């Protein structure tokens, strides 16, 4: 049963940080109600940022992906954990170096802020999504971390939803490196407040004026709670009602999908 009073409070917010995988789509399939939600955002002149732990693609590619699904979204409405990671590294060591396990979205974000690639003596070992991840990556990364490179992961997500189930992602790939080296990675993406606060700055809203919408209790919802945002859990992705019971905290409201916001 949806709490209508809480849902109306969510609908009254000025802006939204909205996850993508499991909220807007599975793989290349748009989820039910997403078009209604997007039309509602524009009709009500809401501020919004598609705010994702995914780091394989640059914002323009995410824009094109939604475009193929029938959603016309400006590139300024996207922010990824690759961008958040790059921003963090550039602040830690301007002009620093990194050994990178990831896709081009992560590489491009690092290049954009002046981080160069070094597989001999890097400042950082950075782990993101990687379709070609293999044993050699584990060995190389472990050697570099053991030699003093700082271990950074773009996000802690263990898996992502796709059309026919789930696939392992960044959190799964960094685990063997942590096990070999005995060193824990620093995770940049949700639920790290660094990323959430940046999202609020991009939208130019206070946390009391916004809500975060996501499909994961352990990243999206806790990210919102720890930043003072209202939280919306949608059951169209990873977390289920049974999953919710495993956590000591609760979202502000639980919905079947984002279409429930538009069609209340």
Question: For residue 168, what are the CA distances in angstroms to 23, 160, 162, 165, 212?
Answer: 18, 6, 11, 11, 24
End-to-end CA separation in angstroms for the chain: 13
Domains of the chain: 4-53+190-262 (3.40.50.1000), 83-187 (3.40.50.1000)
- Taking only the tens place, the pLDDT of each residue in 33-52 is 999 999 999 999 999 999 99
Enter the pTM of the model. Answer: 0.93
DSSP strand pairing (29-30 vs 25-26): antiparallel
- Taking only the tens place, the pLDDT of each residue in 213-255 is 999 999 999 999 999 999 999 999 989 999 999 999 999 999 9
**What is the rounded average pLDDT of the residues 198-206?**
97
Mark residue 182 as left, alpha or beta (left: phi above 0; alpha: psi -120 to 50; beta: remaining): left
- Taking only the tens place, the pLDDT of each residue in 93-124 is 999 999 999 999 999 999 999 999 999 999 99
Q: Which residues are catalytic?
A: 19, 21
Better-scored residue on pLDDT, 86 or 167: 86
């Amino acid at each position: 049963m949806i709490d209508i009073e809480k849902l109306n409070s969510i609908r009254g917010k000025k802006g939204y940080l909205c996850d993508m995988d499991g909220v807007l789509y599975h793989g290349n399939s748009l989820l039910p109600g997403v078009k209604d939600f997007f039309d509602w955002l524009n009709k009500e002149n809401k501020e919004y940022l598609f705010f994702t732990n995914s780091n394989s693609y640059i914002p323009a590619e995410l824009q094109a992906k939604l475009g193929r699904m029938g959603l016309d979204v400006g590139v300024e409405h996207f922010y990824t954990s690759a961008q958040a990671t790059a921003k963090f590294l550039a602040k830690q060591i301007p002009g620093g170096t990194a050994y990178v396990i990831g896709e081009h979205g992560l590489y491009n974000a690092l290049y954009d802020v002046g981080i160069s690639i070094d597989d001999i003596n890097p400042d950082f070992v950075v782990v993101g999504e990687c379709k070609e991840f293999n044993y050699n990556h584990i060995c190389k990364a472990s050697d570099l971390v053991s030699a003093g490179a700082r271990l950074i992961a773009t996000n802690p997500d263990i898996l992502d939803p796709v059309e026919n189930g789930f696939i392992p992602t960044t959190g799964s790939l960094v685990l063997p490196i942590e096990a070999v080296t005995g060193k824990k990675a620093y995770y940049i993406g949700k639920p790290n407040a660094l990323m959430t606060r940046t999202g609020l700055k991009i939208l130019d809203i206070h946390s009391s004026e916004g809500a975060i919408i996501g499909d994961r209790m352990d990243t999206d919802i806790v990210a919102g709670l720890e930043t003072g945002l209202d939280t919306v859990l949608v059951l169209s992705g990873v977390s289920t009602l049974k999953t919710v019971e495993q956590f000591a905290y609760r979202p502000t409201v639980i919905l079947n999908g984002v279409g429930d916001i538009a069609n209340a």
